[in-house]
């Protein structure tokens, strides 16, 4: 287990977790050893700031028990440490600070008695800060995960995989799943592929479409490895090669550029110490000033892909987010910059939402936020003019049609 020193600003003396196998406290997944896959029996964890009583004992103290012997030992430790406050995860609004099950609270009250349970306090930011904070050594692995997902995206939205008139969006979803298996990674967010149209939002599922020339493709998914997660949305375009088209239509490029400009604005306004709602309000003002129609719904990404920390908009809450939007932006964290720009496409006589999502990290106080790998500034292109250089025949490219 990791050793944690609580910041003095919390004024806390101890933090207690009690959970049973298959009913873990939410924060257990962020403090456990990498070789532990669950809480065994009843697992009780006590972090403390004590520096005198029982000197030399580990921090945290850990009990794994199914006999009830944990309780007299825990009472003895509390007598020795005499904490003024005991923090427990009982927050009603923030999931990462509210993982103590009702049954565990009942038995804590019964076994510890009023003397100690009267000192229970709820300090949700303790859990939020702990889970949000990134360890510097993680970045080199997170970069490799980003490189992996970009390679998947570039291959999937290309003539190596897509055959217009044959490949379906469901085929592409299964291609991503099979590719993740090949790369020995899992997913928290199943791949959702769709052909964009004016109704494609928020897009909790993919479309059921046969990919055709002239289609704009969109994917939203994330991979998971080493207790880290990505969250990415990219766009692809299928050239109308039967009509001699060689490039992505200019109006689509303008729409993508608008979404890139929105990303710039979010990173400029994503200032440490501001609340998520303050960032959102500042971004919305600038979008109005620059006459950009769009919406921002960005979130922290850490031990959980939709992680604890300040949320900047929701798809259904474009102006103000209760609870999570009132949390502060923290340094040393990762964010997923998720948004769309709406742009009218004359060739289609319709407006499309250009939905993008990229992951960023906090570098330091002077250098601020940076994209982990970069951001999409050009469409992934399906160009059947290049197909002959990749294959001997169409059936060899369409590798999943006959699964």
Q: Is the pLDDT of residue 71 over 60?
A: yes
Strand, helix or coil at 289?
helix
Q: Which pLDDT tens digit goes with each residue over 132-178? A: 999 889 999 999 999 999 999 999 999 999 999 999 999 999 999 99
User: How high is the mean pLDDT of the chain?
Assistant: 89
Per-residue model confidence (pLDDT) at position 6:
32
Above 50 in pLDDT, residue 275? yes
The whole-number pLDDT of residue 199 equals 81
Task: Answer whether 214's CB lies under 8 Å from 348's CB.
Answer: no
Q: Looking at the predicted structure, is the pLDDT value of residue 397 above 50? A: no
Nearest to 40 by CA among 63, 64, 62: 64
For 21-53, give the DSSP string.
Answer: TTB--TTHHHHS-TT--S--SEEEEEEE--SST
pLDDT at site 15: 84
Q: Could you tell me what percent of the chain has a pLDDT over 90?
A: 77
**Which pair of tokens denotes residue 393?**
């025949």
What is the CATH architecture of 136-397? Alpha-Beta Complex (3.90)
Helix (H) or strand (E) holding 81: helix 70-81
Q: If you average pLDDT over residues 321-334, what whole number do you get?
A: 96
Residue-wise pLDDT for 333-372, tens only, equals 999 999 999 999 998 999 999 999 999 999 888 899 999 9
pLDDT: is 60 or 105 the higher one? 105
**Region 256-280: what's the mean pLDDT?**
98
Q: What is the pLDDT of residues 186-234, one digit of tens each?
A: 999 999 999 999 887 765 666 789 999 999 999 999 999 998 999 999 9
pTM: 0.88
DSSP string, 192-239: EEEE--TT--S-SS----B--TTPEEEEEEEEEETTEE--EEEEEEE-
Confirm if 171 and 195 have CB atoms less than 8 A apart.
no
pLDDT of residue 60: 86
Phi, psi for residue 349 in degrees, rounded to 5: 55, 45
- The CATH T-level fold of domain 8-132 is Creatine Amidinohydrolase; Chain A, domain 1 (3.40.350)
Structural domain spans, the chain: 8-132, 136-397
For residue 257, the tally of other CB atoms under 10 A from its CB is 14
Q: How many CA atoms lie within 13 Å of 5's alpha carbon, on the beta-carbon side? A: 3
Distance CA 198, CA 183 (A): 34
Kindly state the tokens that stand for 114.
């009023």
Q: What angle do CA 329, 101, 22 make, to 5 degrees?
A: 100
Residues 6+ apart with CB under 8 A from 115: none
User: Does 7 score more than 50 pLDDT?
Assistant: no
Residues 172, 176, 177: CA angle, nearest 5 degrees: 115
Which pLDDT band, with edges at 50, 70 and 90, does 10 fall under?
A: very low
């Amino acid at each position: 287990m990791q050793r944690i020193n609580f910041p003095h600003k919390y004024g806390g003396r101890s933090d207690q977790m009690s959970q049973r196998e298959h009913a873990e406290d939410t924060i257990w997944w962020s403090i456990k050893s990498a070789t532990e896959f669950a809480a065994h029996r009843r697992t009780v964890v006590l972090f403390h700031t004590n520096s005198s009583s029982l000197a030399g004992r580990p921090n945290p103290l850990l009990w794994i028990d199914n006999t009830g012997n944990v309780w007299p030992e825990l009472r003895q430790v509390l007598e020795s440490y005499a904490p003024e406050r005991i923090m427990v995860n009982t927050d009603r609004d923030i999931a990462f600070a509210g993982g103590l099950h009702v049954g565990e609270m009942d038995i804590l009250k019964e076994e510890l008695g009023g003397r100690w349970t009267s000192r229970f306090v709820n300090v949700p930011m303790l859990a939020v800060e702990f889970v949000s904070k990134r360890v510097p050594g993680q970045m080199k692995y997170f970069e490799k995960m980003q490189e992996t997902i970009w390679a998947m995206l570039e291959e999937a939205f290309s003539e190596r995989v897509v055959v217009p008139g044959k490949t379906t969006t469901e085929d592409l979803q299964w291609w991503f799943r099979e590719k993740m298996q090949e790369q020995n990674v899992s997913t928290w967010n199943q791949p959702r592929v769709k052909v964009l149209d004016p109704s494609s939002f928020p897009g909790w599922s993919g479309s059921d479409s046969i990919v055709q020339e002239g289609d704009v493709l969109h994917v939203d998914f994330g991979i998971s490895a080493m207790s880290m997660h990505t969250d990415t949305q990219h766009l692809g375009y299928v050239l109308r090669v039967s009509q001699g088209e060689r490039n992505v239509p200019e109006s689509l490029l303008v729409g993508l550029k608008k979404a890139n400009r929105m990303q710039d604005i979010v990173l400029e306004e994503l200032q440490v110490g501001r609340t998520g709602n303050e960032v959102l309000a500042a971004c919305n003002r600038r979008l109005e000033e620059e006459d950009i129609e769009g919406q921002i719904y960005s979130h922290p990404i850490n031990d959980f892909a939709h992680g604890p920390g300040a949320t900047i908009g929701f798809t259904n809450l474009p102006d103000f987010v209760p609870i999570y939007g009132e949390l502060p932006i923290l340094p040393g964290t990762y964010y997923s910059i998720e948004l769309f720009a709406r742009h009218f496409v004359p060739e289609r006589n319709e407006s499309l939402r250009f939905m993008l999502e990229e992951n960023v990290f906090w570098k330091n106080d002077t250098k601020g936020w940076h994209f982990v790998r970069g951001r999409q500034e050009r469409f992934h292109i399906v160009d059947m003019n290049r197909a002959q250089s990749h294959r001997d025949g169409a059936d060899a490219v369409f590798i999943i049609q006959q699964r």
